[in-house]
Amino acid sequence: MGRYLLSRVAVAIPTLVFLTLAAFLLNAAARGDPAEQALSSGGNEPSPAEIAAYREQLGLNNPLPVRYVTWVGGLFKGDLGKSFLDQRDVSEILGERIVPTLRLGLSAFAVTTIVGIGLGVIFGLRANSALDYGGRFISLLLAAVPSFWLALILIVYVGEKSDYFPVAGYGGFKYLILPVIALSCGPAAGLMRFTRNATIEVWRDDYVRTARAKGIGELRIAVRHAIPNAILPIITLLGLRFGQILAGSIVIESIFSWPGMGSELIKAISGRDLPVIGAYVLLSGVGFVIVNLLSDVSYALIDPRIRLGGQVGGAT
Amino acid sequence: MFDSGRLRSIVALFLAALVLVTGSLTGLAQDAATPAYITLEDGEQLSGTQELRLGVNRNLVGGAENTWYVHASLQVWEPLLTYDDQFQLQPKLAESWILSPDGLTWTFNLRKDVTFADGKPFNADVALFNIERYEAVSLRPSIFLGGINYPEIYGAPTAITKVDDYTFSISYAEPRPLLPYAIANHYSAIQGTREDFDENYNWIGSPNGTGPFKLVDWQRDQYAVIERNDAYWGPVKPTLTKIEVKIYPDANARVSALKGGEVDALAELAAVLPAQAQELKESSDFWVGDYVSACNNYLGFNGTEGPFTDIRLRQAVSMSIDRNAFVNDVLYGYGRPATSVLIGADSTFINTDPAQQVVYNPEQALSLANEALGGERQSVTLLFNPPGEALHGWPYPTIAAYLQAILAPLGLDIELKQLETAAVDEARNTGEYDMVLGANCWATGDPDYILSRLLDSESTINATQFGGYKNPEVDSLLDQARVEIDPARQAELYRQIQAIANAEVPLAPLFDQENIIAGTYNVKGLNERIAYAPTLETVYLVERN
Amino acid sequence: MSVVSGERILQVQHPARTLANRQEPRWPMSRIVGLLPIVIPGTVLLLAILGSAFAPWIALYDPNALDMQATLSGPTADHWLGTDQLGRDQLSRLLYGGRSTMLIAGLGVCGVIGIGLVVGTLAGYFGGRIDLGLSAFLTVLLALPTLLLTLAILGILGPGTNSLMLAIIGAGWVGHARIFRSSILSLRQRPYIEAAHSMGASSSLILRRHLWPNLFTTIVVLATLDIGALILTISSLSFLGLGVQPPTADWGTMLNEARPFVGQLPILAIVPGICISVVSLSSNMLGDAIRDVVDIGRRNR
């Protein structure tokens, strides 16, 4: 197990290096002069001399490798640079924004997991029944409905009409409901479909058939045999779902005026706030790598073959 | 000739009357604690709790390292002087300001009865400290107005002198008659005393102001909470005890929040878009108000390269636009047709002679375009920002599509290009455009601020953004006007400049934005000043039976 | 949101697992019923493609022609789906919008599959250092959510139709390359390929004759599924103002422009949303159905 995990971590390291490089180059390659952007926000029109001085101050005139090394060096001190737009530390900006995003993302992740796996197992156990066909269609439908459209419909027909649901903005539990629904429908539908198929497969495996032949109750088989076996591929998938939710939150946060990292990213792209864009790519990439590592670890904990140092499945 | 007895009795009578009047007045004030701005209709009564929930577009608190901790809209601080909705200067913390006969020295006389929310007095030392701070934080980026460019606003004073505790003066080597206009509002904000700041001129604690409200809590991108400053020195005391300002950057989310009952009103910059106003107005639950803003939206040209170097084509475009129809059709009437390159709300410097304003003349436009293009069709690009951005909150895609349709008969095939702000700036700097939609917003009421930046041949738009407008006469008129100390003569110079610009069309002004606000019928007394500041000090909440 | 998300990769990778578990048809009629999952979404998709392809001939109005006298009208005899805030005919815009959305999606799919196939073949067939290098690169790229990569590329290029296309291709091929790589890797080890090798067949011949034709069904399934996923990505980016730019009609931009009027005239927002959902749904269903049929075919062989 130790070696397996070590190999997983070894894969993660080049990913992290690539992320820093990509995030840095993203900054360097982007169009628009960040110095001029910062000085001219709000309708000011800075002179070329002011822009040049500000470029110097921001270190934009140094050669690229020097800027990269400075940048990475700063990362270890928690320094993600300063926002070009309002001169605040990027770590401070994203620090304020990360909590709302995690609240939204983790809530949606929890809903996705519970609803997706729960319904998937139910439909899988009742495969090819009317319930299953209905479930399949609904899951296909939900996977096809654009989340931003769902969000619009929820705002107009639920939020504005009911006194209970807040329409938009940041706040307690009530404020989470509509964005979480809009955000988790797509991922939950996918997870549900996958869980259903995994359950069906396991249900048809020889040992389950044997157990059924022995007359062991269906519920007991499901809980003792089928679900633990089906859970393995599902865990890998959960990692991917997390990425999907993180990406989806960019759109959903903007629509619901949710003050998270996603809406900050959209703002940063339109203002060419390069350090913020780079830091976002880096942070979410690192988050994604960590989630994948975690799913690998839990995979290893559940599957004894991996614990003994074997390879995962036949994949690649 | 009065004898002394009669005089005495008259004085006695007068004194008695005086006592009576003051007595009745104070009595009145005591039993009806309602300020003059409150008018209750039948069946209405003041709510027991006067706490407003206000939805806005953007952060109105910048923080301790910002040039302004709080935006003017929250009325935590007050400036030395401000302007009314016609851009006429108005006293605030300065009672009067006088230019010396040689035009070189401005003297400001300050109010004597002003105290900060924490009880400290306001005086000339405090005012001079704030000006010193603006010099120190010059060009520091800020989320409001992009910070202060001290040399542009205050120039290069030769001396800033405290005359007495409530008087100070600023002297220059050459006349600077427009200084009061330039510093009105944000640039003469009095935001605290020396003790409130650290050595970098950042706030040590919470902001300290002389305004009717004080900041009690805020979270960036989420909310700000202000409460009434019970020690406010001013004549008009607010009724609201607390205002929760909630931030919804998305225009549709904002209106949804009003409809869904999370806020009582929407106000401040670009609170409601014209398209949304229509729908709110039709519902019986909300009132909608519109107020002219200090933003003039224009169609800019690349006058350095391409077809619009030809003055006739620029004139043809400007003459093809029926600005009245434009405002009605595209903005649902929420705008003022532009008449000149200056902000339309101005009443001091604007050119009001119809012969010297922008004109609508489709026939002449056609013949000018024919002359310029020789009957050929010409492909041109039009750049614009996405809708919903703060200063560009107006429906640019819709405006662009409209212009594309109405300019086609001239022989122009317009390719529309929507780009984000940074990319628009980049395209302007590299000249990769023919036309561009833009907005000029006035922060101060200083005509030189707008006209120099649009028309001076060395200005950014002309020199580096391919505006390419060069007219030596305009340059020289701008130089003259800037130092002209006779107000009437100065205004006349600015009108001449506008007349030339309106005829030569370095850019085609389209309309002045109207700022739209909305609220429930429980919210009364909410209006908006020209610089988007909601009149929070006169708002009161009512209940109906 | 991602082009082809994880569970599909896994499903396509292990066709053998699903085929073994498929139930035997119980009724003879099931042949016909069994075809319905292909016929219905296939017809819907075909209609959408035809409608978009022939939009200039079907549409009654110029999609960008303004009519300020008839703004924001509901459905009428002249305008079956009403008009928008500029009096533009919604039905015509919907047809042209489909054209723009589907064209980008179609070209996107070609790009994504093409690049994926080339890279996958390079890595899977030639193996060795090329494989090592490419696989490492793929692993790294796959560590990022596709939409994030798309946004990052879009951030560099700036919004617009061309950038949008480049961005979805640039971010989308990675997953496909991995699938093609492992398919080719397993195909290459089949005895008849080994035999062809030993008989001295050139690499290009083996690729053209034996390997790529074997990937055909995988490509069809992936492409069909991609259409649905890409349409969602394209419309959400256009909705955010980062994709197709106004006044070009596009389902995402139409939805965005309709937002202020949702309460007043819901049809403006509802119809483009339904179009996106239905086309995306059809392509997902069709992709699934084709895969099932292919699996059955393989099993019966």
Q: pLDDT, tens digit, for every residue of B225-273?
A: 999 999 999 888 899 999 999 999 888 889 989 988 899 999 998 889 8
The enclosing H or E element of B109 equals strand B105-110
CA–CA dist B260, A155 (Å, integer): 9
Subunit contact B275:C261, Cβ cutoff 8 A: yes
Q: Which of residues 243-262 of C touch A (CB under 8 A)?
A: 255, 259, 262
Q: Is B164 on the interface with A (CB under 8 A)?
A: no
- The DSSP H or E segment spanning C20 is helix C15-21
Cα–Cα separations (whole angstroms), residue A234 to A199, A240, B226: 10, 10, 50
Give the range among A188-192, B432-436, B524-528, C25-29 with minimum mean pLDDT: C25-29
| CB-defined contacts B:C, below 8 A | 60
- DSSP-assigned letter for residue B284: S
SS3 A162: coil
Going B148 to B152 to B157 to B162, the CA torsion angle's sign is: negative
- Chains near B (3 or more Cβ pairs under 8 Å): A, C
The verdict on a CB contact (< 8 Å) between B253 and A257 is yes
The b/e string for B314-331 (b: 16+ C-beta within 10 A; e otherwise) is bbbbbbbbebeebbebbb
For residues B78 and B501, give the distance between their C-alpha atoms in angstroms, rounded to a whole number: 36
The B523-524 sheet, strands edge to edge: B44-46, B540-544, B523-524
Using a CB-CB cut-off of 8 Å, the residues of chain A touching C276 are 144-146, 149
Other C-beta atoms within 10 Å of B285: how many?
Answer: 12
Chains near A with 3+ CB pairs less than 8 A apart are: B, C
Tens digit of each residue's pLDDT (9 = 90 or more) over B104-154: 999 999 999 999 999 999 999 999 999 999 999 988 878 888 788 899 899
Angle at A252 between CA C257 and CA B53, to 5 degrees: 85
Nearest beta carbon to residue A148 from set C21, C136, C239: C239
CA distance B406 to B319: 11
Q: What is the pLDDT of residue B12?
A: 57
User: Any CB–CB contact under 8 A between A292 and chain C?
Assistant: yes
Q: For residue C221, how many other CB atoms are within 10 A of its CB? A: 25
Please give the Cα distance from B223 to B245 (Å, whole number): 5
- C-alpha distance from C296 to closest chain A C-alpha (Å): 16
- Most confident listed range (A219-228, B270-279, B479-488, C197-206): B479-488
The shortest C-alpha distance from C188 to chain A (Å) reads 13
In whole angstroms, give the CA distance from residue B128 to residue B162. 8
| pLDDT at residue B17, as a whole number | 59
Pick from B66, B253, B459: which is nearest to A168 by CB? B253
Contact call for A250 and C17, based on CB within 8 A = no
> B275 to chain C: nearest residue by CA?
C260
The amino acid present at B478, given as its one-letter code, is: L
Query: Any bridge partners for residue B83, and if so which?
Result: B89
Candidate from A48, A87, A272 with C-beta closest to B422? A272
Percent of chain B with pLDDT over 90: 60
> Shortest CA distance to B446 belongs to which of B152, B169, B200, B162?
B152
Give the closest residue to A233 by CA, choosing from A267, A201, A264, A258.
A201
pLDDT in tens, C262-293: 877 888 889 999 999 999 999 988 988 888 77
Picking from C2, C156, C232, the nearest residue to A29 by CB comes out as: C156
**Do B278 and C264 count as a contact with CB atoms less than 8 A apart?**
yes
Going by C-alpha positions, the residue among A93, A245, A131, A229 that lies closest to residue A180 is A245
Which residue is closest to B414 within chain C, CA to CA? Answer: C247
The model's confidence at residue B71, banded by pLDDT at 50, 70 and 90, is: very high
Partner-chain residue, chosen from B252, B325, B402, that has the shortest CB–CB distance to C260: B252
Please give, rounded to a whole number of angstroms, the shortest distance from the CA of A170 to a CA of chain C: 20
CA-CA distance, B277 to B251, in Å (whole number)?
A: 11
Task: Check if the beta carbon of residue C117 is closer than 8 Å to that of residue C215.
Answer: yes
Q: Does A204 contact C at CB distance below 8 Å?
A: yes
Search chain C and give the residue with CA nearest B259: C263
Using alpha carbons only, what angle is made at residue B344 by residues B342 and B346, rounded to the nearest 5 degrees? 85
Adjacent-strand bridge partners of B161:
B169
Strands, E, within B390-491: which ranges? 412-418, 435-441
Helix, strand, coil shares, percent, chain C, to 5: 75, 0, 25
Residue from A36, A45, A157, A250 to probe the interface with B (highest B Cβ count within 10 Å): A45
Window 160-179 of A, Cβ < 8 Å to C: 160
Query: Which residues on chain A are in Cβ contact (under 8 Å) with C2?
Result: 240, 243-244, 247
Contacts with B425 from chain A: Cβ below 8 Å: 32, 36-37, 40
End-to-end CA distance of chain C: 36
The partner residue sitting opposite B146, judged by closest CB among A40, A155, A165, is A40
| Model pLDDT for residues A256-293, shown as the tens digit of each residue | 889 999 888 877 776 667 778 788 888 888 888 888 78
Q: And the tokens for B519?
A: 């609220």
* ipTM of this predicted structure: 0.78
Å from B453 to nearest chain A CA? 8
Q: What is the pLDDT of residue C221?
A: 87
End-to-end, the C-alpha distance of chain B in Å comes to: 63
Q: From CA A8, how far away is CA B369, in angstroms rounded?
A: 69
Q: Quote the CA–CA distance of C19 and C135 in Å, as a whole number.
A: 29
Note the helical H segments in chain A.
2-29, 34-40, 48-58, 64-76, 90-125, 130-144, 147-154, 173-203, 206-213, 218-221, 227-255, 261-271, 274-302, 304-307
User: Which residues of B are less than 8 Å from A169 in CB distance?
Assistant: 222, 246-248, 253, 257, 262
Using DSSP's 3-state secondary structure scheme, residue B414 falls into strand
Closest CB to B262 among A36, A166, A263: A166
Which range is least confidently modeled, A126-135, B60-69, B461-470, C66-75?
C66-75
3-class DSSP state for residue B244?
A: strand
Contact A169 B262 (CB under 8 A): yes
pLDDT given for residue B381 in this prediction: 93
* A219 vs A125: CA distance, rounded Å: 10
Who among B246, B260, B460 is closest to A45 (CB)?
B460
Residue from the list A15, A152, A240 with its beta carbon closest to the beta carbon of C139 = A15
A26 touches chain C (CB under 8 A): yes
* Residue B406: closest C-alpha in chain C: C66
B chain contacts of residue C260, beta-carbon cutoff 8 Å: 251-252, 255, 273, 275-276, 279
Which of C5, C140, C151 lies closest to A15 in CB terms?
Answer: C140
Cross-chain Cβ contact A166/B260 below 8 Å:
yes
In this structure, of A50-64, B6-20, B130-144, B396-410, the range with the lowest mean pLDDT score is B6-20
Q: Looking at chain C, which residue has its C-alpha nearest residue B419? A: C159
pTM exceeding 0.90: no
**Bridge partner list, A82:** A89
- Cβ-contact B338, B501 below 8 angstroms: no
Q: How far apart are CA B83 and CA B89, in angstroms?
A: 4
Neighbours of chain C (3+ CB pairs under 8 A): A, B
- H-assigned helices in B261-418: 274-282, 311-320, 323-330, 362-373, 396-407
| Beta-carbon contacts of residue C63 (< 8 Å; ≥ 6 apart) | C88, C89, C92, C93, C95, C96, C97, C249
- For chain C, positions 133-172, list CB contacts with chain A under 8 A: 135-136, 139-140, 143-148, 151-152, 154-158
Residues of C within 8 A of A153 (CB-CB) are 269-270, 273
pLDDT at A305: 59
Q: Looking at the predicted structure, is the pLDDT value of residue A33 above 90?
A: no
Listed in sequence order, the residues at least 6 apart from B412 whose beta carbon sits closer than 8 Å to its beta carbon are: B317, B369, B377, B378, B380
Q: How far is A64 from chain B (nearest CA, A)?
A: 22
Identify the weakest region by mean pLDDT among A173-187, B407-421, B501-515: B407-421
For residue B246, the chain A residues in CB contact (below 8 A) are 169
Instruction: Report d(CA B537, CA B235) in Å as an integer.
Output: 11
- Please choose, from the candidates B419, B408, B411, the residue with its C-alpha nearest in 3D space to the C-alpha of residue B383: B419
Task: Name B217's bridge partners.
Answer: B225
Q: How far is C136 from chain A (nearest CA, A)?
A: 8
Token pair, residue B289, equals 């108000």
> Cβ of B398 under 8 Å from any chain C Cβ?
yes
Do residue C155 and residue A146 have CB atoms under 8 angstroms apart? no
| Predicted confidence (pLDDT) at residue C127 exceeds the cutoff of 80 | no
- Look at residue A19 in the predicted model and tell me its pLDDT: 81
**Burial class of residue B125 in the structure, from the number of CB atoms within 10 Å of its CB (0-12 exposed, 13-18 middle, 19+ buried):** middle
Between A66 and B335, the more confident residue is B335
Chain B environment of A32 (Cβ under 8 Å) = 422-423, 425-426
β B78-79/B189-190 pair status: antiparallel
Counting residues of chain C whose pLDDT is more than 90, the rounded percentage is: 16
Residue C233: Cβ-neighbour burial (10 angstroms; 0-12, 13-18, 19+): buried
Amino acid at position B298, single letter: Y
Whose tokens are 């902001």? That residue is: B207
Q: What is the pLDDT of residue B451?
A: 92
